[in-house]
Structure 1
Amino acid sequence: MALHWKLVIDCTDANAIADFWAHALGYQVEDPSALIEHLLSERQLPESAVAEHGGGKRFAGLAAVRHPHDPFDAFSGVGHGRRILFQQISEPKAGKNRLHIDVHDDGGDLDALVLRLEQLGATRVGLVDQGPAGRWWVMRDPEGNEFCACG
């Protein structure tokens, strides 16, 4: 039996980094505003747990992105498929990631992909050229998390 999973990434600004990754991957930022309004009206959520972001209410310290074609719960906004959750922590990133995302360009245009990611706030770390085995850029997202851009 296959298990459901999501990738969780620690960060210092969950909503901002969710915006970056939604644009980078062509995903959608989950919209929990209906759930938040319900929890606030029932006094099950303190105002301090809510942040204004992108013109709506979001959970302070938590944000997620989901694949636009995967199913999701319309009330909570939670995706039931390919999903990344960003969890705010107080410590800044230290050291190299032990897990990373590879972003692939379907058209194989590595230069265009890298330029698009840089326009979103990513930075280049170094080019890896393994000849016939492949070529890719190691990059960092706006919070310094490493990922690879592959053509």
Structure 2
Amino acid sequence: MTPLHWKLVVDSRDAATLAEFWAAALGYVVEDPSRLVERLLAAGQLPPDAVTERAGRRTFRGFAAVRHPDDPFDEVSGVGAGRRLLFQDVPEPKTVKNRLHLDVHAQAGGRDALVARLEALGATRVREHDQGPAGHWWVLRDPEGNEFCAT
């Protein structure tokens, strides 16, 4: 069987802001769909109210994605073809614990520095877990309250 292409989709209140947080947290790149947006607008295939501007570029309203900087991507659409997170705005707020979360791994001995850097980007510490040789990690929340772990 050929491996499937996939992305992790995260519901959000502000897709662009959450994408910027995760791009900075992971060392990823915020995708730039501006060439595709311009082409779709010019062809009348995208209504103007489906577009917004961010950092001087036109982008899809309510959607933003980040990709690993070394992975391939489509030059026209800006869409990554590898490790990728897509954020999509939804009307309802987050109300319960995530059923799926990311674990962000530090370099050996660098967990405290990683947690401090994530906090500086807008993450919040929730609780620390120390299970001795079995593992030591922090549960954090991103700026919209989504839980993740830093190990």
SS in 1 for 2:100: coil
In the aligned structure 2, how far is the partner of 1:8 from the partner of 1:107?
29
Cα deviation, residue 54, structure 1: 1.7
SS of 2:113's equivalent in the other structure is helix
The CA deviation at 1:55 is 1.7
Alpha-carbon distance in 2 for matches of 1:96, 1:52: 32
RMSD over aligned CA atoms reads: 0.7
Higher mean alpha-carbon deviation, 115-124 vs 102-111, is at 102-111
Identify unmatched segments of 5+ residues in structure 1: none
Secondary structure, in 3 states, of the residue corresponding to 1:51? Answer: strand
1:36 matched to which residue of 2?
Answer: 37
TM-score, normalization by structure 2: 0.97
The one-letter amino acid paired with 1:17 is L
Indicate yes or no: 2:90 matched with 1:89: yes
Partner of 1:80, secondary structure, is coil
What are the ranges of 5 or more consecutive residues in structure 2 without an aligned counterpart?
Answer: none
Secondary structure at 1:117 match in 2? helix
- Provide the residue aligned with 1:123 in structure 2: 124
Q: Distance in 2 between matches of 1:90 and 1:134?
A: 37
Identity %: 67
Structure 1 stretches (4+) deviating beyond 4 angstroms? none
Say how many residue pairs are matched.
Answer: 150
Give, as a single letter, the amino acid of the residue that structure 1 aligns with 2:90.
Answer: I
Deviations 1:111-145 (A, max 9, x none): 10000000000000000111111100000000000
In structure 2, the partner of 1:68 is: 69
Provide Cα deviations, 1:52-92, integer angstroms capped at 9, x if missing partner. Answer: 11221110011100000000001000000000000110111
